[in-house]
Structure 1
Amino acid sequence: MTETLFAARSPDALPESWTRREILQQPATLRATQAVLEAGRDGIEAFLGPLLAKPDLRIMLCGAGTSAFIGECLAPWLTASLGRPVEAVATTDIVSAPRLYLDAKRPTLMVSFGRSGNSPESIAAVELADMCGGAVHHLLITCNADGALSRRASDTSHVVILPEETHDRAFAMTSSFSAMMLAALSIFTGIDAMHDRVEAIADTVAAVIAQSEDMVAGLAARGFERVVYLGSGLFQGLARESALKLLELTDGAVPTMFDSSLGFRHGPKTIVTAGTLIMVFVSNDPLTRLYDLDMIEELRTDAHRGTVIAVTTQPSGGTELLVSSSANFADVDLLFPFIVPAQLFGLHYALNLGRTPDQPNATGTVNRVVQGVRIHTPNP
């Protein structure tokens, strides 16, 4: 293996950046998000109550990029806990093929996530849903009080504006991702019921930040040529978000991919070289965990394996980032502490490459709020 060795930087010696600040602020922004929800609980419940009483209500979790991956993380869990189908549908899919995703015959709740609330596809998806007719309602969760989504309050919509500090100034979404994900989880779980859970989640996120940064900085200093993120169930969505964070923050310098633990064997495993880092998010579900551990064991005994890191609440028998005090957490609560090592790894890898984390793409070919999208009106 040819390994590029960078010097791991002490956290105290890191240059100031919004990216790092927004990663580190997540314990506070999670608590602040829950406080906003508790203050607005009556309005949220008055809006959602009649909708959730409809047995045939279709719930869609929508967004673009990282905002879409919130839905991928939450949809399986909410489907099981609510006892009704909850779909994750990217706004980029809705806009490009609305007839495949919008159904005027069914009452629909479209939950839209938007950091800025100004992404062209997010706005267009809401408009297309309204144009298709039928009983469509919108729950709009955004971090920007001045964004286009925040101004769409009506009889068929309800806007939840999260604390200003969640409106990340950096290019890559970090605290906005966790805050919007918590908002949806809390709203559909029961805002009051989430109060103590949010405290435990925030405490665990703080502990992971404190214990993981030196470790991931050391991993980033090894200059892996490829990085793979694996997760089962909810954690496949988290693996996808983790892969995107590294791709964004390194400006595409490090090839990344994501998959489920079981799915990885079916061809994608060919990506692994001696210079590959594989980060596995290990489920707390007893059955799912066994499959994650089988994959870890297989990778660790493979003659051509790379470096395998388990992000886990229980010892895995090898190199791991142990998320302490959360062995009894449901997987949905682990989404919040588990994303932190991936965010920090992307940050430190970017710094080692000499990138500016807040704006890693110096050419301007990608932007904090996507540009260059032409919205085409579908034929009647």
Structure 2
Amino acid sequence: MLLGYNEKYLKEKKGYFTAKEISQQPRLWRELYSILLNRKEEILNFLDPVLKIKGLKVILTGAGTSAFVGYCSEGYWRRKLGIDVEAIDTTDIVASPLNFFSKDRPTLLVSHARSGDSPESLATIQLAEKYIDEVYFLNITCNKDGKMAKSTLNMKNCLNIFMPEEANDEGFAMTSSFTCMLLTDLILPHLKEIETKKELIERLAKEAERIINEEAGNIEKISRQDYDRLIYLGSGSLKGCAYEAALKSLELTKGFVNTNSNTPLGFRH
């Protein structure tokens, strides 16, 4: 059973992968914690010297859902690391790279990508190399066999962090991939003391399991109400979550529900 439905029914309705990927998230978060713990020294050896570079700019990037990961973590990174951090879509960068890249500004480009195969992700890395004198790449991706991972494998100025294998979602609407990449962003500023975060990750996973097991029926009842417009509101880091929730609702209703997102104050205005 997944979300209260048997697998045969879900497969007939072509909803199996979506239900599976929603349900598996708590397990993947625990797996992700172990991955980051095991790679702690390798990641710190790459990131620490880069983050100490004077005048460094950090760009969090991706397209669609992967861009929204950066929207969610942008303010948190800026606050915790005390450096200039900006979330910019790869689709914007590719269209006008010189609007965002400064030749003389050392830059860390943090790319989020489920498949790592989208042309915008690949082009953004190529353009950064072309236009920035000192650039470093941190790729957070769900596909170790993707073009982004393979093309940067031997670059000395690059590190790939791979999500749990099952986070490479097969469903139309990304779920496991989004939360795993976002959780990675939120853990990285605390990587030096990651051992102390195990209990927190476990609490997150258990609460998600409770919601999936106890609240799925109530959520379904709400979704069956007669509405054709849905607006998500979120402030601060939750603004990115509002963007993502609106996109998920649009995708999973095949566009029949008109979705939008904003901040509470922006919506009020």
- For the aligned pair, the TM-score class normalised by the smaller chain equals over 0.9
Question: Equivalent residue of 1:12, what SS?
Answer: coil
Question: Equivalent residue of 1:21, what SS?
Answer: helix
Paired residues for 1:128-207 under 5 Å: 128-151=127-150, 152-153=152-153, 154-190=155-191, 191-207=194-210
Cα RMSD after superposing both structures:
1.3
Instruction: Confirm whether residue 74 of structure 1 aligns to residue 69 of structure 2.
Output: no
What's the TM-score once normalised by structure 2's chain length?
0.92
**Over residues 204-261 of structure 1, what are the superposed CA-to-partner deviations in whole Å (9 max), with x where a residue is unaligned?**
1111212321111001111311101011111111000000001111121110000001
Which whole-Å CA distance do the structure 1 matches of 2:75 and 2:129 have between them? 26
Displacement, 1:50? 0.4
State the match for 2:10 in structure 1. Answer: 15
Letter in 2 for 1:171: F
Question: Equivalent residue of 1:15, what SS?
Answer: helix
Unaligned runs of 5+ in 2: none
**Over residues 336-376 of structure 1, what are the superposed CA-to-partner deviations in whole Å (9 max), with x where a residue is unaligned?**
xxxxxxxxxxxxxxxxxxxxxxxxxxxxxxxxxxxxxxxxx
Displacement, 1:196? 2.4
**Over residues 131-150 of structure 1, what are the superposed CA-to-partner deviations in whole Å (9 max), with x where a residue is unaligned?**
11311000001111110111
What's the TM-score once normalised by structure 1's chain length?
0.66
Percent identity over the alignment? 39
Instruction: Confirm whether residue 52 of structure 1 aligns to residue 51 of structure 2.
Output: yes
Letter in 1 for 2:166: E
Paired residues for 1:199-278 under 5 Å: 199-266=202-269
Q: More helix by proportion, 1 or 2?
A: 2
Deviates more, 1:200-209 or 1:28-37: 200-209
Which whole-Å CA distance do the structure 2 matches of 1:98 and 1:58 have between them? 15
Task: Give the structure with higher Rg (CA).
Answer: 1
Unaligned runs of 5+ in 1: 1-9, 267-380
State the match for 1:376 in structure 2. Answer: none
Letter in 2 for 1:134: D
Displacement, 1:193? 4.0
**Over residues 42-74 of structure 1, what are the superposed CA-to-partner deviations in whole Å (9 max), with x where a residue is unaligned?**
111100010111241111110000000000001
State the match for 1:99 in structure 2. Answer: 98
Displacement, 1:34? 1.1
Letter in 1 for 2:37: E
Which whole-Å CA distance do the structure 2 matches of 1:133 and 1:263 have between them? 35
